[in-house]
Amino acid sequence: MTEKQRRFASTDPDYPTTPALTAALRSRGALAAAAPPPGRPAPPAGCPPSPDATDQAPGGADGMIIGDNGREPLVLDLAKLLAGRLLIQGSSGAGKSMTLRRVVEQAFRAITTILVDPEGEFENLAGHIGATTVRGSELAGDGLTAIALKCREHRLPLHLDLSDLEPDTRIAKAAAFFTGLLAAPREHWKHTCLVAIDEAHLLAPHIAASARDAETRRLGVATLTELCSRGRKRGIAPIIATQRLAKLAASVLSELHNFLLGLNVLDRDVARAADILGWANDKAGILRDLAPGKFVAHGPALCRFPTIIAVREAVTLHTGATPELLGAAAIDGDAAAALLELDKLCVREQRAGAPTWKGRPPHALDAFLLEPAAATAARLVPVLASISPNATTAAELEKHLVVPAEEIHAGLDLLASAGIVETIPKSEGRIARLSARLRTKLTATPVVGLA
């Protein structure tokens, strides 16, 4: 048996070897599972033990088995990962998130682990590794920067949940958190940490959604690129997971030296994957046929040459999996209309004396200003403009303006009749925002000169 085979066999009870050696290795693995390395968190009570608790290279600090290539297990070298980062990419259903889970489950005892979770899918994984969950929607950006600094100082595992945030806010808060990780003082650089970022294209998109989003996108791209480029000396090992190569900013992709590339179906993604792997375009067609859980591994921390591997199963369940097919409810038309509350949404009773808004200015404006609710309506418009394009509730408007609920509802009715706001009929939980016409007018589009 070669030294390489002995190394793999010592960590995998299923590797074919002599019965006596297999028994000895399993015994040693059982002792390792019963006594995790000192100073590393053990899974919280109630979490199932990992069936692959012994899937680590000898010593357990520098590598762990994440999959198999058909001949031998594939080891991920954490020390080399720190120097070269890792990209996990695959189309929806390829097993990208499960692969990220597998890596984190195997690595958390050897290195402080931080989960950055834009879709809120990793709370059970956070519980498994003993990480504290922090919700970005509940904290300001400077608070997230401070939390990142504390994590580095005290070697604390963390789960940052960025779900329930608007796209631009999500990018800004992630950037504030990454800034804190990078700003750790030099004496804390030795506190190495693994930063696993799922759906990274949401935090550093290749293209901005609109002119107004361009500055926010630049912030996200610059911060994540800096985390990857400067993280090595500061003890940070980023793992970037994304659905599509074409969605992730090219500057972030250029900083990654290790790759696990799964199923790709679009020509643009296949072409970029071929460029990464050094394959001709015809050979890259393999990526179109990869089964779920199969990835092409390449890089110093994985293997010298591109190799197809099957990633081993994770312990924690993927909460973001595609739901099973479920048919429509078996109810009749009248019951469906009642559930949809069509009587409230389609029938608009005309209040006595309410304007019809068919006249031309200034007559329509005169009718608007003579309405009893005009004063409240005038106060509502700047408040809604300040949060555009977001919406708020009538209850929040009542508290903010210190105006009785009935006056708030009357003001919203008046603004809706003039097409100034979009709202639903008066009800509990009523929401409102500026109309699309006015939201468009508030969008800042810079005018630039042509060279």
The pLDDT value given to residue 25? 35
The rounded mean pLDDT for the chain is 79
Give 104 or 417, the one with higher predicted confidence. Answer: 104
Other CB atoms within 10 Å distance of the CB of residue 439: 16
DSSP classification of residue 317: -
Q: What is residue 11's predicted lDDT score, i.e. its pLDDT?
A: 40
Contact of 47 with 130, CB cutoff 8 Å? no
pLDDT for residue 141: 87
Percent of the chain with pLDDT over 70: 77
> For position 282, what pLDDT does the model report?
80
- Measure the CA–CA gap between 381 and 366, rounded to whole angstroms: 18
pLDDT confidence tier of residue 189, bands split at 50, 70 and 90: very high
State the average pLDDT over residues 315-331. Answer: 80
Integer Cα distance of 161 and 184 in angstroms:
21
At 206, the pLDDT band (50, 70, 90 cuts) reads confident
Looking at residue 352, what is its pLDDT?
A: 46
User: Structural domain boundaries of the chain?
Assistant: 1-35, 44-311, 348-441
CA distance 110 to 193: 9
- pLDDT value of residue 445: 53
Contact in structure between 234 and 87 (CB atoms under 8 Å): no
Domain 348-441 coded CATH 1.10.10.10: yes
Which pLDDT band, with edges at 50, 70 and 90, does 135 fall under? Answer: very high
User: Tell me, what's the pLDDT at 351?
Assistant: 47
Averaged pLDDT, 183-201? 93
* 44-311 CATH: 3.40.50.300
Round to whole Å and give the CA distance between 160 and 256.
22
Q: 250-283 pLDDT, tens per residue?
A: 899 999 999 999 998 888 888 888 888 888 878 8
The secondary element (H helix, E strand) that includes residue 291 is: none
Closest to 151 measured CA to CA, from 51, 49, 272, 235: 235
Q: Which of 138, 131, 97, 127 is nearest to 114 (CA)?
A: 131
Higher-confidence residue of 349 and 426: namely 426
| Per-residue model confidence (pLDDT) at position 361 | 55
DSSP 205: B
* 128-145 mean pLDDT: 91
Q: What percent of the chain has pLDDT over 90?
A: 35
pLDDT in tens, 86-108: 999 998 888 899 999 999 999 99
Element (H, E) at 290: none
Please say whether the beta carbons of 368 and 411 come within 8 A.
Answer: no
The edge-to-edge listing of strands for the beta sheet with 392-393 is 392-393, 431-434, 421-423
Confidence of residue 175 (pLDDT cuts 50, 70, 90): very high
Alpha helix ranges (H) inside 321-373:
333-340, 342-346, 363-369
- Please determine, for residue 148, whether its predicted confidence score (pLDDT) is greater than 70: yes
pLDDT for 31 equals 30
**pLDDT tens for each residue of 23-78:** 443 443 433 333 343 344 444 444 444 444 445 554 344 568 999 988 889 999 98
pLDDT of residue 70: 83
Residue 241 has pLDDT above 60, yes or no: yes
